[in-house]
Amino acid sequence: MSAPIFPESGGDGPNEVGPSVEPFVVDHHLVNKIKAQAIIDAGYCREQDGQVYSDEMQLKVAMLEAMINQHVAKGQRDLAKRAITKFELYAEMLPNAPGVESLPRTPEEAAAQDQLKKTLWSWLNAGTTGYVQVRVAELGYVLCEAPVSRTKVNEETGRREPTTETGRFLTTNRQLILNHYTTPAGTRFLAAARKLDAQLGLVTARRPELAEPIEKQLSVVLRQALESIRHADVRQAAALTRDHTDDAEQA
């Protein structure tokens, strides 16, 4: 299912200022009612004292089952097909919710759609504590995310347009896990290290007398970093940093 592209508001040209529009005041109580009704309409509800209430726990469990049954990638070939994007997850779990079949009709429907999408996507967080990630451990799956190709319908032109979105999927495939889980984690770690180096460089450039104490401080940080990564090859990592550490300790 294609997610709609909302036309941008504004004037007639890039430098034009559009007409002044009073901001909508969103009725948050109504937003909550719309969200609850969308969950109830999808069948995730319970009865209590003669009233029907939405049940997010049922929705969570159903999402977990949907991921296990429909969104397991066996390899690179079926990754795009098995992965699910933020809007696709919303449409799959709440098919009658605002914005699935047509654009939201009111600011409250738009707000309800946005909040429900964020909630569902947060449950599918690929981090170590995400709801789905934790609960697929016994099955040996890893919840990963990767850019996937999709098409969207432009509401102004009615044409389908190619786009790239983040898709999430379960897998036991070795290469997919290395490419889309551990490698990105390592890249983020490296980015943090480079940021630290830039900050230390800023200080030593302005205060050269701090170069030696900073180097000693860094040797401690490096050792702690190695010790904190329990799954790393400590011997190999230590060998790569030994010269730097020894020099710092002798200084």
Q: In the chain, pLDDT over 90 holds for what percent of residues?
A: 69
CB contact at 8 A, 146 and 169: yes
- Please, which pLDDT band fits residue 21 given cuts at 50, 70 and 90? very low
CA 133 – CA 129 distance, rounded (Å): 7
pLDDT at 73 over 50: yes
pLDDT digit string, tens, across residues 164-213: 999 999 999 999 999 999 999 999 999 999 999 999 999 999 999 999 99
CB contact at 8 A, 71 and 83: yes
CB contact at 8 A, 94 and 115: no
Pairwise pLDDT comparison (129 vs 235), residue with the higher score: 129
pTM of the model: 0.78
What Cα–Cα distance (Å) separates residue 56 from each residue in 22, 45, 60, 236? Answer: 35, 8, 6, 47
pLDDT at 156 over 80: no
pLDDT at 8 over 70: no
pLDDT of 9 reads 40
Kindly give, in sequence order, each residue whose CB lies less than 8 Å from that of residue 241, ignoring residues fewer than 6 positions away.
222, 226
Q: What is the DSSP letter of 84?
A: B
Burial of residue 214 (CB within 10 Å: 0-12, 13-18, 19+) is middle
HEC profile of 61-78: HHHHHHHHHHCECCCHHH
pLDDT at 12 over 60: no
